[in-house]
Amino acid sequence: MLNLRQKFGKFGEDLAVRYLKKKGYQVLCRNYRTRFGEIDIIAKDKDTIVFVEVKSRRTSTFGHPKYSITHSKQERISKTALYYLKTNDQSNCRARFDVVTVNSADKKTDVEIIKNAFELAYK
């Protein structure tokens, strides 16, 4: 059974998927997990594979969700993305990292896509 935080996270991801589809993305996979980490959504935008991190906030206590993706999180997403591309024989495809924010801090819920939110990051 999901706790309140997990339910809101799932709500945010569901909202992000609907928003991406409305913008023309084709959703390929959700919650892709490997030993390196997890990617919330893997989608295709025209000829580009897009690795999407979804960040949701119910309050503004910790600031806007777009500022919450640390460098170490970017590294985990990058390693997971490289693994996905390699294991799915798509190493030669164009790829990028987008962030979808779901902000419910005010009385309404805002959804925003940040394309090319960060570059490939790894040590």
Rounded CA-CA distance 63/6 in Å is 19
Q: What is the mean pLDDT of the chain?
A: 87
Convert the pLDDT of each residue in 36-57 to its tens digit: 999 999 999 999 999 999 987 6
CA distances 77 to 69, 106, 113, Å, are: 10, 29, 17
| Three-class secondary structure of residue 86 per DSSP | helix
Q: What is the pLDDT of residue 29?
A: 95
Report residue 122 as tokens: 């790894």
pTM of the model: 0.89
Residues contacting 61, CB < 8 A, separation 6+: none
pLDDT-based confidence at 111, cuts 50/70/90? Answer: confident
Structural domains for the chain: 4-118 (3.40.1350.10)
